[in-house]
Structure 1
Amino acid sequence: MDNSTLARPAVPTGAGPAPTPPGPTAEMAAWLSAFRPADLTPAARAWARACLLDWSAVTVAGSAEPLSALLRDELAPEPASRSSGARIVASGGRRAGLADAALINGAMSHALDFDDVHRRMHGHPTVAIAPAVLALAEDLGASGDQLIAAFVAGLEVAGALGAMMDDAHYEHGFHATATVGTVAAAAGCAQLMGLDPERAAWALSLAGTQAAGLKANFGTMAKPLHAGRAASNGLLSARLAARGFTARPDGLECEQGFGPTLSTAFAPAPFRPDPAAPFEVEEVLFKYHAACYLTHSAIESLKTLRAESGIGAEDLERLVLHVPVTHTRVCDIREPRSGLDVKFSIRSLAGLTLMGADTAALDLYTDATARDPKVAELRGRVEVDPRPVGTSPRHGAAITLTTKDGRTFRAEANVGVPATDLAAQQGRLETKARAIAPPVIGEARAEAMIAAAAGLDGAPDLSALLDAIR
């Protein structure tokens, strides 16, 4: 007999346990399946355009880094097809399969560590999400509005899931860009593909089971690889789920799932409980120094002090950096040996700032800077005092500087606050783009890139942006 025809016994009213409410995986999947470009607010659109402009600029600039050439040669060697797959940024039209293109572009965009960050995610959102949704959008012939919606959707998951993982995930040694970023990339791709809730949940769970990345590799080429792998695995997860490749419907929160396994403080929470709340994309923080974001408040404090008092490196007797304790495990490389190390050496960066160095200049971060005896001498005068600063336990910093003639100066800054003047922010991002993109693609294409990112709303396709950064 076909058991499906058997009648189920009635359950008396009020009897038995209440139905289990859907967990984060199911809630995210349902939201992704229903979310459309029409649901975007003007503010979310503006923030997304800013993110995609900044990502384009740092990816173009990062394409000139040695790790980028290694990845291109391994995953898209010439002669390669120029008529199929997704485009690799700043490669003269070279293409690769979608997942490989997402990997290459993702790693290139994080090569300089000059890309945006997100407080609740505990990592770098755009370098994980944008390469995945852009490769997929190119393949699908998506519009600018569809790209923006997919990107915003991925970032919504990044912020919410990162908050559920708590600080414990990052502090234990996991790089959230690699872990949470993989799930976020899958979310953006699932939204773009229009997956139903069941398949969207599979995509999130498939991404969660592939997520990895360790902070021990900060300061090496492995760190940018985290971003590339996140984009690639997230894209693959969504495409496999679309084909019917199964995974648990609750893979983010179930026992031995993503959250409970990777964080001792994982706390499932309702996903986007207030539909009218601002989107997570509106919390993105952009970089204006080409180094680890945790160094930026200290740099800003010193820049302000130097500008207001005229104090320079020649005056320094002793400098104390009062920073959150997490800095000592992320950006306090005592003896940097390479340009990449310098990006994670807060003491070196403090000395360079006092010397008047341009910490936004890409050519500052070289092996020669790491070996510079003047930088080393100043670094030896810098102490790190690990403690929370003000009301910002993660991003704030304060400094106490003592001069050789006995004067003491203090300053404080907090770069962990999102911008409120979006026009001014856009201006700073365009200035940044004009500084770092032209050496690779020329001034004309850099201007075309800026215009294309600004014109994504309503664009019927992505050809203007893709042609500018090809």
Structure 2
Amino acid sequence: MDTHISDPVVATKLTRTLAAQASAVTYEALPEPVRELARQCVLDYYGVALAGADDPLATILVDELAEAGGAAQASIIGHRVKLPALSAALVNGAIGHALDYDDVNLAMPGHPSVAILPGLIALAEQRNSTGREVVAAFVAGYETACRIGMALRPGHYDRGFHATGTVGAFGAAAACAHLLGLDAEAMARALGIAGTQAAGLKSQFGTMCKPFHAGKASQSGLLAARLAARGFSSRPDLVECEQGFALTHAPDFDGQAALAAPASGFHIFANLFKYHAACYLTHGPIESARALRERHGVKPEQIARMTLSLDKSCERVCNIPAPTDGLEAKFSLRQTVAMALSGVDTASLAAYSSETATDPALVRLRDKLALDFRQGWPQAKGELEVTLGDGRVLRASHDAGIPSSDIAGQRERLVAKFGALAEPVLGAARARELRAAILGLDRLADVGALTTLAAL
């Protein structure tokens, strides 16, 4: 690994520069589309967290942390208990990622909102912060996470690190430090404290530890900001220094990529929301399979063989060949393609179960699929070729890495998704009240209104 860094800013001031950028974010300077996307991220996060609140991992974490006790500082989504803010960040982050239905940004590459919002909202609840303060802090954290992610990609993720857990900790720290009003130097120390805690391994995909990574990232970021506010020391150049985060975690570190402004001005414009309850890298293949079914009326019994072409990076992310339960099915290209071709609703949480994963018809169909991993493809693109028994060959492709340009239309899709996820937990009336509060976040004098509505 080449550890020589020639640019003086990258070599000695990258962390400080990112900290200064984050601390300088103000609500008033944010364009309205950025504020709207921030509200959409909050809406989507609350929906998926409410739906994940009864996951077995939630019971384990709540029982463990409630037994440990502590000050009742922050609410747990979908539960009656209040826990210390650090504990709430961990639980709410884990349940928000439990269903793998939360948003994505390929700059990290990972899940930004679920790593940033739990700690930020726990802190905001404790401090009685306004909605505008939360929006500004969230954007500061989101942009920081994406900038650091850009500097580490692709090697960091390809090496086996789960960026939601690692890079997400930096984003959470920046967001919480912003809410605390820390200056640039203290923000840099917060990033350093977060970086020395950051962890998460992709080998844990398909287990409870994957969503645990998101919770730990949010908890670590919140702790980092709070310690920095108290004067806790850390290197203020932790991202770029010798034996620092980048040079130990990324074989192709490019600090200039962190400093480059995205074409749209903000990384949040590239946020990708999920409309299938599975790993995001299965979404291009799912959409390709749906297209073949809907356009050509393809039936599973007609299919002789199939080939799915996609980026090489997917091989070690969502390539469980023979899943046996719902969680593993979310990380199986073969399973999710078979489900889509068979007309199974891949947006439905109930579709991911042991029964579906071991359904004989789906198993037969998925076994007909060959995977063709290619170097240099768009990371979220899938191209499916299906050969039918009569010799016809049909093809469809979809790139799920292209964000929607219709922000207003995207809001409507997210409102529908939120309703489907939140209403079974809260009831229709309370879910509508929570939705209205989130979409009116900028007008909230105290974000505690959200946490109250989302707790049982």
TM range (shorter): over 0.9
TM-score (norm: length of structure 1): 0.92
Match of 1:455 in 2: 440
Q: How far does residue 31 in structure 1 lie from its aligned partner after superposition?
A: 2.0
Assess, with a 3 A threshold, how the Cα gap between structure 1 residues 444 and 77 changes in structure 2: closer, same or farther: farther
Q: How far does residue 321 in structure 1 lie from its aligned partner after superposition?
A: 0.5
Residue pair 1:27, 1:270 contacting (<8 A) in 2 also: no
Residue pair 2:75, 2:452 contacting (<8 A) in 1 also: no
Q: How far does residue 383 in structure 1 lie from its aligned partner after superposition?
A: 0.7
Residue pair 1:301, 1:413 contacting (<8 A) in 2 also: yes
Match of 2:78 in 1: 90
Residue pair 2:128, 2:448 contacting (<8 A) in 1 also: no
Q: Matches of residues 402-421 of structure 1 in structure 2 within 5 Å?
A: 402-421=387-406
2:66 aligns with one of 76, 82, 92: 76
CA distance in 2, matches of 1:285, 1:415: 8
Q: Matches of residues 229-244 of structure 1 in structure 2 within 5 Å?
A: 229-244=216-231
List 4+ stretches of structure 1 deviating above 3 A. 18-22, 270-277
Match of 2:55 in 1: 65
CA distance in 1, matches of 2:23, 2:100: 33
Match of 1:425 in 2: 410
- For residues 383-436 of structure 1, the C-alpha deviation after alignment (integer angstroms, 9 at most, x for no partner) is 1011158xx521111010011121110011001011111111011111111111
Instruction: Say whether 1:107 aligns with 2:94.
Output: yes
Q: How far does residue 275 in structure 1 lie from its aligned partner after superposition?
A: 10
- For residues 78-116 of structure 1, the C-alpha deviation after alignment (integer angstroms, 9 at most, x for no partner) is 9x78x8311110102x11111110000000000000000
Q: Describe the SS at the equivalent of 1:236.
A: helix
CA distance in 2, matches of 1:195, 1:231: 18
Instruction: Say whether 1:36 aligns with 2:26.
Output: yes
Match of 1:55 in 2: 45
Q: How far does residue 77 in structure 1 lie from its aligned partner after superposition?
A: 4.1
CA distance in 2, matches of 1:139, 1:152: 20
Q: How far does residue 178 in structure 1 lie from its aligned partner after superposition?
A: 0.4
Which amino acid in 2 is paired with 1:168? Answer: G
Q: Which deviates more, 64-73 or 441-450?
A: 441-450
Query: In percent, how many aligned pairs have the same letter?
Result: 46
Which amino acid in 1 is paired with 2:22? Answer: L
Residue pair 1:64, 1:440 contacting (<8 A) in 2 also: no
Instruction: Say whether 1:157 aligns with 2:144.
Output: yes
CA distance in 2, matches of 1:382, 1:190: 48
- Please, what is the CA RMSD of the aligned residues? 1.8
CA distance in 1, matches of 2:409, 2:262: 28
Residue pair 2:150, 2:258 contacting (<8 A) in 1 also: no
CA distance in 2, matches of 1:98, 1:195: 19
Instruction: Say whether 1:333 aligns with 2:320.
Output: yes
Match of 2:3 in 1: none
TM-score (norm: length of structure 2): 0.95
Which amino acid in 2 is paired with 1:457? Answer: D
Residue pair 2:285, 2:382 contacting (<8 A) in 1 also: yes
CA distance in 1, matches of 2:351, 2:92: 23
Match of 1:359 in 2: 346
Assess, with a 3 A threshold, how the Cα gap between structure 1 residues 309 and 111 changes in structure 2: closer, same or farther: same
Residue pair 1:58, 1:112 contacting (<8 A) in 2 also: yes
Q: How many residues align?
A: 448
Match of 1:129 in 2: 116
Q: How far does residue 196 in structure 1 lie from its aligned partner after superposition?
A: 1.5
Structure 1 runs not aligned, ≥5 long: 1-17
Match of 2:244 in 1: 257
- For residues 244-278 of structure 1, the C-alpha deviation after alignment (integer angstroms, 9 at most, x for no partner) is 00000101110110111100001112755659952
Residue pair 2:307, 2:370 contacting (<8 A) in 1 also: yes
- For residues 36-77 of structure 1, the C-alpha deviation after alignment (integer angstroms, 9 at most, x for no partner) is 211211011010000000000000000011111111101124
Which amino acid in 2 is paired with 1:318? Answer: R
Instruction: Say whether 1:280 aligns with 2:298.
Output: no
Q: Describe the SS at the equivalent of 1:412.
A: strand
- For residues 293-343 of structure 1, the C-alpha deviation after alignment (integer angstroms, 9 at most, x for no partner) is 000000001111111111121211111101111111111111112110000
Structure 2 runs not aligned, ≥5 long: 1-5
Q: Which deviates more, 49-58 or 272-281?
A: 272-281
Residue pair 2:150, 2:257 contacting (<8 A) in 1 also: no
Q: Describe the SS at the equivalent of 1:119.
A: coil
CA distance in 1, matches of 2:36, 2:42: 10
Match of 1:6 in 2: none
CA distance in 1, matches of 2:314, 2:117: 27
